[in-house]
Structure 1
Amino acid sequence: MRPRRESVHGAGRACAAALAVLLAAACTGANPEDGLELSFGHVGAPGSLFAVTAEEFAARVNARLEGRAEVVVYGSSQLGGDEVLLQKLRLGTVDLALPSSIMSSRIPEFGLFEMPYLVNDRVHMARIQEEVIWPELVPLAESRGFRILAVWENGYRHVTNNVREVRVPDDLAGLKLRTPRGTWRVKLFQHFGANPVPMAFSEVLLALRTGNVDGQENPLAQIHASKLNEVQRYLSMTEHVYTPAYVTASSEHWMELPEEVRTVIEEEARDLQEFVYETAKRLDRELLLALADTEIQVNWADKSAFQRESQAVYDEFAAEVPGGRELIDRVLGLLQQ
């Protein structure tokens, strides 16, 4: 496989890499120019929903393309955190990425999915995808240089920390809580009384271990796969936000790929939707039981108390984001169908 775009790291290193490729080709009989190598970067640890779904996607694409192109997955922030991955997409040094909350910091309307308790369940989310994401949000992303190929899942988020159980918003008061860099997640936890600390996911484990933050919030799959339960005392099942994830390419560099490759990637990315949802539901069940068997203490939050405190964030989003009120109303209206 040949990378679509190459980085130069020095003549000696380049020569060594070229020699290694030639030796590998000689041993296997493979031609290094057989097809394109397409990088797919994400921040999920092995075993996370991101990792499982990205690997399944790559396997399906690669089986269909039969060597004409190959998707190679780089998880665990190997190619950078979400912010870096978006930059690399624009530069064309990464082919595909799986951003989630970070999209709201680039495109304000994506902050819709930072609104607490907006998405009721995955059936509701499927309607939102068809009625709101594809017709309204995807064109906005395209205008900013990002081509969204499919909508997958990051999941329902929960709070972990080392100070106390979180049952109602007042329990968050003063907690230094890591959040993603999405603007509205920070505002949400400020409204709840916490002290949000935005940082890349790759930095979270060390920040928790050293006490730079008291806690964080993530789906169970990320908490378990990254072993955050080993450095946290309490897991509070808040389900405060459901976050989609977006299989994303650069609008410009996407069109450089052969049409056949683009077609296969787009078809498989969208067709994976059912697998993503079923895997997410399975992991939610299995990982809650697995985490309950560890030393972390699990409790269920009073969601109605959090919902009562959420209206201020909705009102702020409606006032600050063009069309924000209409977006919220459309999503809530789909719940009634």
Structure 2
Amino acid sequence: MGIQLETSVCGLFQIRYPIFLAGMAGGPSTVKLTAAVSAAGGLGTLGAAYMEPAAIRKAIQEIRELTDLPFAVNLFAIEVRDDNTRIGEAQQQLNLLRDKLGIPHAEDGPVLTPNLFREQLAVLLEEKVPVISTAFGVLPPEYMGQAKSAGLRVITMVTTVEEAVLAEQSGCDAVVAQGSEAGGHRGTFDVSQHPSGANIGTFALVPQIVDRVGVPVIAAGGIMDGRGVAAALALGAQGVQMGTRFLTAVESGAHASYQQALLASTEESTVITKVFSGRPARGIRNDFIAQWDAGGLEPLPFPTQNTATRDIRNAAQRGSNAQYMSLWAGQGTRMLTSGQKAADIVAETVRQALAILS
């Protein structure tokens, strides 16, 4: 059709359109969704933060069977350590939720979260994944050096100007400026400094980062269509990252009940909460959040809270009960569509953006 929407990131990442799929770990991200976005001209991203290293390798190989175009794999750039100091009282409160679902109470004692980051990263380097994407921080220097030596591109999600500068100094090829409207985990590096995450809106964050770094900036947060792309480019961004928009795509791995909750939600439905994982994340408020908040107990730190709540979230999925799932979502959910293929979402977004920019 002769559609052209090119910026500097298109050449840098060898993609046709400056549209990046967010790395949505924990179910929504699939091989088919990743490959579909890449095949449509964007950069598909596999959200692999919770995957075993062997499963990541298999997924990478499956993506390559579906497309020969570039894609990214996203990890949490953090060495996880459990803090079981308050595990007993947390489990008591979680047992009230388990009772609601009719599942067994947790066993006494500490929870153990596998620390897989370095093994996961080794797979990405061995498989020479075209783009490594990180949240919660930058790659450790030794791994950044290996990635750059292998000719791989590296992107890091940032939520402040200071984080963007640190990412550029570490060697990142681009940064994703994650505004507060974005769904899922806040990418904030230091949650001890920002307990609820740094929450600067996309419209304010993007131009301030653009003014301070020399690498391309990819805007994220509340971008759901071509209007958002045009606005991001006007603010100085060289591309956009979209996550929520693809949660109801045909290729999405989001549970059917999760998708129904998304389609029924509005701009007022989401909150930033730590009750599921211990790190601040934006999702649709449901009974899990309301009941935990009513108990008045501070969630355990990440990843301990995430591990402690997993059995509840898994049971909710088995029972198609969205009230006890983590329903990560951004603030633009009225713009979601049901049953649309990822390729059509990309094409439609490009057409809308071009109509505005032409």
Normalising by structure 1, we get a TM-score of 0.28
More helix by share: 1
Normalising by structure 2, we get a TM-score of 0.27
Q: Which has the larger radius of gyration?
A: 1
